[in-house]
Amino acid sequence: MAYKYGYEGPPFNFLGHHSETQQQQFKSWTDQRTGNFPNIQQFYQIRAAQLRKTSGVLEQFYKTTNDDQLSPTFEKSVWQPGKDGWFAYSYRDDHLPMVTMSKIKSHLREQLNRQDESVFQMNHIRNLIEKTEDKAQKANEATGDLQKLFTQINGYFNKPEYQAVLVKDQTDLYQGQPRFRVHQLDEPTQWEKDQNQRTAGSSGATLTGKS
């Protein structure tokens, strides 16, 4: 069945509102690509290993340049608010200590900038390593998860409370059409038009709402 806005094939621009036909097309498209996940996983594992080597080289470089031992600073728990949430620090007009400290730091600017750069670069590459390893893990879990998720969405199709968003356009028809439109911008179905009609009293007068 053709739709004006509810496309059956790529791009699969739908989320929780689609039809049986779209679901079958998407499942077929997905099944053809499940074999790609082992290669995707391997790629990200190799990439993560390369990034770890780069991290080691950077650590040695900054240690040699600054003669400082870098300690890990990438800790997500540090970013979390305390039990009382975030509170803004109340700055006062005590500017003389700031002026004095700025004079001290001006003599150490080059070395401090190098330290800041090293910490930034190391934290940046730690972020990249973690994100890359997460992609490898997600590819590893994808094959098993996809089958479970498709089974779950198919179960939703059989529940009447979802019939307006998970449209059974092949098995639940009314006068040869699905009961519900697949996309809100599509024309209302005949069943929706008939549901919009109301009979007033015993006179047989019919009030037809706008569709």
pLDDT in tens, 21-68: 889 999 999 999 999 999 999 999 999 999 999 888 887 887 766 666
**Distance (Å, rounded) from C-alpha 199 to C-alpha 72?**
74
- Is 69 a residue whose pLDDT tops 60? yes
Nearest to 26 by CA among 184, 165, 158, 154: 154
pTM over 0.85: no
Q: Look at phi and psi of residue 201 and say left if phi exceeds 0, alpha if psi is from -120 to 50, else beta.
A: left
Domain boundaries, the chain: 35-157
Three-state DSSP state, 178: strand
